[in-house]
Structure 1
């Protein structure tokens, strides 16, 4: 049900990708995004597993919190890993829709710390 879906999703970016987002005001996608035809996003609950699976061993990573309401029907919730529904953005990620971002950090329990607007 659409009204139960989170208002924020998260995108993991390399330092170079974040710099491009800041410089250009938009991010067209990482190579996997461009190949799949959409920008891969994760919910807060999915973020740590996404980082562990797709970014293990990488340094200089950043997490951007994305306002999904700004995209309305341009975000599709589609089954991916283990049948979970993931938010997929079918257009470039715009800097103006990023409500917070920061370096990827982990909490004591190993989960990825969410960036907080402020």
Structure 2
């Protein structure tokens, strides 16, 4: 099982749980897909887009369960990033992890599966 990760405000994730589906953030809606990161990309994504934010979850997803809706496309530094064209079925979620913010604004990233 390949894993991909989504950083998400806890409040948005709790709403997704109530609705039974995650439709993405405002940025995702603007871009037309849900942005994900690989295990090796999470720390830089957190630094670049979530610095200083608290109350975040790291959503761990089974990439293989997303089938054709998941595309690997070049993004930051020409690295391939996973992009989901469609809603995230919560059945593909493996784990929901707390992302603890430190006093310097960065986050403690848990050990992740690739």
Gap runs ≥5 in structure 1: 1-5
Gap runs ≥5 in structure 2: 102-106
- 1:85 is aligned to 2:87: no
Query: For 1:74 and 1:50, how far apart are their aligned partners in 2?
Result: 22
- 1:100 is aligned to 2:95: yes
Equivalence map 1:48-59=2 (5 Å) = 48-59=43-54
- 1:72 is aligned to 2:75: no
Query: For 1:37 and 1:60, how far apart are their aligned partners in 2?
Result: 25
Q: Is the contact between residue 39 and residue 112 of structure 2 (CA under 8 Å) also seen in structure 1?
A: no
Partner of 2:110: 113
Structure 1 residue 105 displacement after superposition: 3.5
Partner of 2:56: 61
Partner of 2:23: 28
Counterpart pick for 2:40 among 24, 42, 45: 45
Q: TM-score, normalised by structure 2?
A: 0.87
SS of residue matched to 1:104? strand
Identify the structure with the greater strand proportion.
Answer: 2
Structure 1 runs, 4 residues or longer, greater than 6 Å off: none
How much is the aligned-residue C-alpha RMSD, in angstroms?
1.8
Structure 1 residue 15 displacement after superposition: 1.3
